[in-house]
Structure 1
């Protein structure tokens, strides 16, 4: 299991030639909450961003990612959400199905070989994170991702204000 923050800025190498193809600069997430590809900023005179489909990655290493050069495809932002680029979801508010705000998106946890997101790290802001910590929610059902909000059905919530609420007497 990986987080986007652990992949961000990792170099991408061609497994056949050993040449550096670029570095990871973003995640491409579908409307159903699946990581479809990594966005790679290529090494060239004019850096171009290309997509590397998750199923085209040969190896997710600790220090780099291995693939074949021909597996990089042009970046297409249609129906794709990213962290930092077009249709960015970083900082997007997360709500549960009951209309309660859970926090704003800070990071995602996903299974790199499947591209399945298994958890979301949420924040209530810098000072709240210092005092209470950020929240990690886990879901089994796909979220509803929109340009203004993400609606989830959390299975478990760990950390943050919700952890303190669960300890209060009813």
Structure 2
């Protein structure tokens, strides 16, 4: 099990050439609740590139290895139904309309890409007094907009 915070900022190395091609900046989620790939920033003036899960060779402690030959397929809304939104600190709602908190981290299984839990914050002082909350998705379906994330969850 990994968390997004553990891989954010890791160098991304191209498997064939051993060249560093950037650093992990974000995860790409599919609407069925599976991690579909990663976003990689290769510099200040370079735009972010997206690598599908099929091109990820391994996620190690010190870097992420990708096979660029397998990343030629571009993500599109039509063929993958992907959501490439920055999810950090988005408001998380339950499916019954209650605010659960702000998304702080995502726990996932790197081999399969399934999301195991979300870590939520309600702010600095609430985190100090009550701690951060973890919720597990009841169904893998997630709904993401520019402003919010809606999840069906199991109370822990």
Which TM-score bucket, shorter chain as reference?
0.7 to 0.9
Runs of 4+ in 1 over 4 A off after TM superposition: 73-79
Query: Which residue of the partner structure matches residue 27 of structure 2?
Result: 27
Structure 1 partner of 2:125: 127
Alpha-carbon separation, structure 1, partners of 2:73 and 2:127 = 37
| Pair 1:98–1:68, CA change in 2 (3 A) | closer
In structure 2, the partner of 1:117 is 115
- What are the residue-to-residue correspondences of 1:73-112 with 2, within 5 Å? 73=72, 78=77, 80-82=82-84, 87-112=85-110
SS in 1 for 2:54: helix
TM-score relative to the length of structure 1: 0.77
Counterpart for residue 144 of structure 2? 146
- C-alpha distance in structure 1 between counterparts of 2:41 and 2:46, whole Å: 6
- Cα displacement (A) at 1:3: 1.0
Cα offset, 1:143, TM superposition = 3.5
Matches of 1:101 and 1:7, distance apart in 2: 27
Structure 1 gaps of 5+ residues are: 158-170
TM-score scaled by length of structure 2: 0.83
**Alpha-carbon contact 2:55-2:68 (below 8 Å) kept:** no
